[in-house]
């Protein structure tokens, strides 16, 4: 699932789709969000947010359908192999779970951070129970598995205030990790969370803008389908780590990889600082703020 959500999108173009007067409503649209997801806290605020998540995609249905068609075409182009099958592709790179297990704290206390167009944090073992203490669940796909039940998974930023979690559904062969099955609809496997440290203000353009951005990106990217994809992490001649994508037969998918992504192994996790602060900086055209805690690099 790692490669499905990080697709190239113009934030300005996406936000241009959203109605200028987007705001929560409380009439016939009703609130069909997962009420069991509402926990103790500012319930009225959460209800307003979840109602917006229900109504805005309906208001924008025609625009979303048109934009999704171009996004589907873009994703299909990225899936075209860029070379012949590489016989030894599964042995390239590093054994990620093995390396993380060798670090202080083991596989459960370390993760892989990708800083790039779509900031992402990947766990390969049990996810810390308190990692979402400052986050409220907003929407869950029908096939989604929560972080406490998952054995590994990805957290991705989709707005300055929102993240998505997708549970790990991969198998490892050699140093390669491959999806177990193809995905018909990415959003079915995702849970959306909102950072509670930033209150929702229906009268604030910035607050509504962040909500609309997350809703539109979730609707567009979440509608993607994908064949089985594989990936490895390799260390280049500069000592930097990079993702390499492949088909299950070992054909490279270079168009799926962003050469500007920066990968780090980290052991101190603050989702908002790692993902959303970087996301905000990049959408503003700045460099990602801060640097993650360094970890000892593997010997290759």
pLDDT (0 to 100) of residue 278: 74
pLDDT tens sequence across 64-92: 888 888 889 999 999 999 999 999 999 99
pLDDT (0 to 100) of residue 48: 87
Average pLDDT on 17-33 reads 40
Domains of the chain by residue range: 11-283
- Percent of the chain residues past pLDDT 70, beyond the cut: 79
pLDDT (0 to 100) of residue 235: 86
Residue 282 CA to residue 285 CA, distance in Å, equals 5
pLDDT (0 to 100) of residue 79: 95
Residue 73 CA to residue 75 CA, distance in Å, equals 5
pLDDT (0 to 100) of residue 252: 97
Confidence of residue 12 (pLDDT cuts 50, 70, 90): very low
Two structure tokens written together for 17: 């789709």
Is a pLDDT exceeding 70 seen at residue 230?
yes
Residue 9 CA to residue 18 CA, distance in Å, equals 15
Is a pLDDT exceeding 60 seen at residue 55?
yes
Burial 7-37 (b: 16+ CB within 10 A, else e): bebebeebeebbeeebebeeeeeebebeeeb
Is a pLDDT exceeding 50 seen at residue 279?
yes
pLDDT (0 to 100) of residue 280: 56
Q: Exposure of 148 by Cβ count < 10 A (0-12 exposed, 13-18 middle, 19+ buried)? A: exposed
pLDDT (0 to 100) of residue 284: 42
Average pLDDT on 7-27 reads 42
Length of the chain: 300
Confidence of residue 111 (pLDDT cuts 50, 70, 90): very high
Two structure tokens written together for 28: 């016939």
Is a pLDDT exceeding 70 seen at residue 240?
yes
**Largest Cα–Cα distance in the chain?**
61
117-121, 244-248, 275-279, range with greatest mean pLDDT:
244-248
pLDDT tens sequence across 118-155: 789 999 999 998 999 999 999 999 999 999 999 999 99
Residue 284 CA to residue 212 CA, distance in Å, equals 17
Confidence of residue 39 (pLDDT cuts 50, 70, 90): very low
Strand ranges, E, within 33-85 = none
Contact 281, 288 (CB under 8 A): yes
pLDDT (0 to 100) of residue 43: 58
pLDDT tens sequence across 158-217: 999 999 999 999 999 999 999 999 999 999 999 999 999 999 888 888 888 899 999 998
Residue 147 CA to residue 125 CA, distance in Å, equals 11
């Amino acid at each position: 699932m790692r490669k499905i959500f990080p697709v190239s999108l113009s934030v300005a173009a996406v936000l241009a789709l959203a109605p200028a007067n987007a705001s929560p409503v409380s009439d016939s649209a009703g609130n069909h969000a997962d009420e069991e997801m509402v926990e103790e806290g500012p319930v009225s605020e959460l209800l307003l947010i979840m109602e917006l998540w229900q109504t805005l995609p309906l208001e924008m249905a025609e625009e979303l359908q048109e934009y999704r068609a171009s996004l589907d075409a873009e994703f299909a182009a990225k899936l075209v192999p860029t070379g012949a099958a590489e016989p030894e592709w599964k042995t390239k790179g590093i054994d990620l779970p093995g390396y993380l297990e060798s670090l202080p704290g083991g596989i459960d206390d370390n993760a892989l951070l990708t800083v790039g167009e779509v900031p992402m944090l990947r766990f390969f073992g049990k996810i810390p129970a308190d990692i979402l203490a400052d986050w409220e669940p907003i929407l869950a796909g029908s096939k989604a598995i929560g972080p406490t039940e998952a054995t590994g998974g990805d957290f991705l930023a989709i707005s300055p205030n929102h993240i998505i979690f997708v549970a790990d559904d991969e198998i490892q062969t050699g140093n390669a990790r491959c999806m177990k099955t193809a995905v018909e609809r990415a959003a079915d496997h995702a849970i959306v969370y909102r950072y509670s440290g930033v209150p929702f203000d229906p009268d604030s353009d910035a607050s509504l803008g962040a909500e609309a951005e997350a809703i539109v990106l979730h609707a567009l990217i979440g509608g993607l389908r994908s064949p089985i994809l594989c990936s490895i992490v390799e260390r280049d001649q500069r000592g930097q780590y990079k993702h390499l994508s492949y088909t299950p037969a070992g054909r490279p998918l270079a168009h799926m990889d962003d050469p500007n992504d920066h990968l780090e192994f980290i052991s101190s996790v603050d989702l908002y600082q790692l993902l959303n602060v970087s996301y905000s900086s990049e959408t503003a055209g700045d460099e990602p703020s801060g640097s993650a805690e360094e970890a000892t690099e593997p010997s290759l």
